[in-house]
């Protein structure tokens, strides 16, 4: 069978082919000229599915998830500040990674020291809620992140009631022998900042009486703080001579 010459191709078909070629070239040109758009952070896989997908290496999967988060802000042709991330999805990623490797502190360090530093108070508070919930599951090992969260609430958010709540949770739950004394004293110091001297004295006095503070240097330090609080209370409330 002899092939037909090109002249035999109908003119409408030629026009359709040329139009398709022009459309294809135009689309590719537009794609090159269009500014790159940052992709939003997607929800993570459910923990059970992520565990199955890890093929028996949940710790490795946890690290991979956290590395993915760390690199997510550097997308092709565009940088996405971590302050612009969806923090609800971010908390889900951190929680899933933590469930896969409960002994790792990577997720909590990222939450309390990196993502909680967001200039947006709403996002920062979302991270502090994540830290607080995670801390309650393993206070003996996760107290450093909780102490950092209390400091963020106090110094960054300037929210003393929230700092007091976190510091009180620390004192009540972080009771292991390896937890430093200053961690349990944070509540008293926040109370002092709130001019609640009597409550601060009660907290410090209770720590001493319970034997949770036994180091002579720490006892001497706390005794000096109690004396300073008593003096400040006397100044703050003229005529009140009743000191605890």
pLDDT in tens, 67-92: 888 887 765 555 556 667 889 999 99
Question: What is the pLDDT, as a whole number, of residue 220?
Answer: 76
Q: Phi/psi of residue 74, each to 5°?
A: -100, 85
Question: What is the pLDDT, as a whole number, of residue 146?
Answer: 96
| Spatial distance between the Cα atoms of 127 and 111, rounded to a whole number of angstroms | 6
Give 175's strand partners: none
Contact between 123 and 115 under an 8 Å Cβ cutoff? The reply is: yes
Whether the predicted pLDDT of 46 surpasses 60: yes
Contact between 132 and 171 under an 8 Å Cβ cutoff? The reply is: no
Question: What is the pLDDT, as a whole number, of residue 69?
Answer: 87
Contact between 73 and 82 under an 8 Å Cβ cutoff? The reply is: yes
Whether the predicted pLDDT of 243 surpasses 50: no
Contact between 106 and 66 under an 8 Å Cβ cutoff? The reply is: yes
Q: Which of 100-104, 123-127, 195-199, 202-206 has the least mean pLDDT? A: 202-206
- Where in the chain are the domains? 41-159, 180-239
Question: What is the pLDDT, as a whole number, of residue 227?
Answer: 74
Question: What is the pLDDT, as a whole number, of residue 126?
Answer: 96
Q: What burial class does residue 53 get, using C-beta atoms within 10 Å of its C-beta: 0-12 exposed, 13-18 middle, 19+ buried?
A: exposed
Which residue's structure tokens are 């022998």? 177
Question: What is the pLDDT, as a whole number, of residue 242?
Answer: 36
Report, as an integer, the average pLDDT of 213-222: 72
Share of the chain above pLDDT 70, in %: 73
Alpha helices in 34-157 (DSSP H): 47-53, 58-72, 87-100, 106-109, 121-137, 139-151
Which residue, 59, 38, 40, 41, is CA-closest to 50? Answer: 59
């Amino acid at each position: 069978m002899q092939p037909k010459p090109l002249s035999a191709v109908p003119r409408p078909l030629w026009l359709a082919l040329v139009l398709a070629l022009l459309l294809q070239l135009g689309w590719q040109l537009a794609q090159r000229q269009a500014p790159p758009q940052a992709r939003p952070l997607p929800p993570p896989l459910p923990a059970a599915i992520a565990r199955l997908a890890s093929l028996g290496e949940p710790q490795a999967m946890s690290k991979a998830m956290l590395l993915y988060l760390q690199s997510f802000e550097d997308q092709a042709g565009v940088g996405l500040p971590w302050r612009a991330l969806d923090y609800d999805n971010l908390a889900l990623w951190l929680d899933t990674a933590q469930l896969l490797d409960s002994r790792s502190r990577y997720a909590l360090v990222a939450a309390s020291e990196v993502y909680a530093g967001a200039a947006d108070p709403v996002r920062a508070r979302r991270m502090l809620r994540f830290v607080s919930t995670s801390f309650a599951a393993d206070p003996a090992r996760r107290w450093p992140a909780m102490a950092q969260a209390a400091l963020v609430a106090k110094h960054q958010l300037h929210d003393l009631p929230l700092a007091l709540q976190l510091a009180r949770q620390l004192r009540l739950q972080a009771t292991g022998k390896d937890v430093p004394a200053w961690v349990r004293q944070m509540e008293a110091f926040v109370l002092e900042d709130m001019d609640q001297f009597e409550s601060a004295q009660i907290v410090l006095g209770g720590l001493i009486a319970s034997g949770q503070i036994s180091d002579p240097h720490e006892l001497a330090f706390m005794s000096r703080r109690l004396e300073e609080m008593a003096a400040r209370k006397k100044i703050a409330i003229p005529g009140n001579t009743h000191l605890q």
